[in-house]
Every structure is written in structure tokens, then in C-alpha cells.
Amino acid sequence: MKLISVALGILAIGSVAAGAARAQDSEHVGDPATGRHLARIICSACHVVGADQSVSPILRPPAPAFIAIANRPDVSAASLSNFINHTHPVTPKLGQMPNPQLLPDQVADVVSYILTLKKQHQAHSDAANPPPGK
């Protein structure tokens, strides 16, 4: 009986630890540097992913630039993640974005990168348009 109690205790601890690991994975905060790297490899055929992109997108006209996407008023980490994960088919019709089939951590990384462009754009705008009297 004591052995069964110990075994159940170990299973319970293991279940809690596994649940915590899954929760941590689902709340992965993306790495912008990794997201930038992924975007340059996966997204740059259709989008301008950064100002330093050396090759123009092959899609004509190109899909929206990442900086334009980042600065849409309704853009958030959740909206970007939802779009990347759910709003386009694996086999798209002409003009639709294909499903990039990224892993959850990769989506978080790309989203994190896109959101840094919003911050950069705001910082450049603020520097270019200082308040009167400065």
C-alpha cells in the first residue's frame, strides 16, 4: 500500500511538471533575432521583411512590407499569431498567402520580430518629428 502511495505521488509530481512545461511552451516569448532570420528565409520571397533586404520579393506586386504590417493600428502579438496560424490554407488560391507551416515557437519568433519594427518605426518618427521648441 505504501509503495502504491509513493508511485501515485511520483505520477502526480510528474503530471504537474509536464503541465507547467506545456504552459511555458504555449507562452513562449519570441526571439526577434531568430524571427528576423526565419523571416528572411521564409517570408522574403513575398514580403520586404527589413530595410536591409538585399533581394526584392519575387511576388508582384509584393505582399505588404513587415514594417507596414507592424504599424497597422489593430496589430498585436495575438492578431499576428492568429493570422500566421489560421487564416490561410495549405494550398492557397492565387493572391492568398500560403501557410508557412511554422512551429509555435517559430511563429512567436517571427511575431516578436515584426513587433520590433513597430517600435523602431515609432522611434524613428519621434526622432524625425521632435516636439515644438526642441
CB 68, CB 80: distance < 8 Å: no
Q: Which of 110, 44, 117 is nearest to 82 (CA)?
A: 110
CATH label of the domain that carries residue 64: 2.60.40.420
Residue 119 lies in a domain: yes
Are 35 and 11 found together in one domain?
A: no
* Alpha carbons 122 and 43: distance in angstroms, whole number: 23
- Compare 4 and 112 and report the one with higher pLDDT: 112
Are 9 and 47 found together in one domain?
A: no
* Alpha carbons 111 and 70: distance in angstroms, whole number: 9
Are 16 and 37 found together in one domain?
A: no
* Alpha carbons 85 and 100: distance in angstroms, whole number: 8
pLDDT digits (tens, 9 = 90+) for 35-88: 999 999 999 999 999 999 999 999 888 999 999 999 999 999 999 999 998 866
Quickly state the pLDDT bin for 98 (edges 50, 70, 90). confident
Are 59 and 18 found together in one domain?
A: no
CB 66, CB 114: distance < 8 Å: yes
| pLDDT score, position 9 | 42
Average pLDDT, the chain: 76
* Alpha carbons 49 and 43: distance in angstroms, whole number: 7
17: containing domain:
1-29
CB 59, CB 68: distance < 8 Å: no
Tally of domains within the chain: 2
| pLDDT score, position 29 | 86
Residue 133 lies in a domain: no
Are 19 and 36 found together in one domain?
A: no
Query: pTM score, two decimals?
Result: 0.68
Are 38 and 25 found together in one domain?
A: no
Instruction: Give me the count of residues in the chain.
Output: 134
Residue 19 has pLDDT above 80, yes or no: no
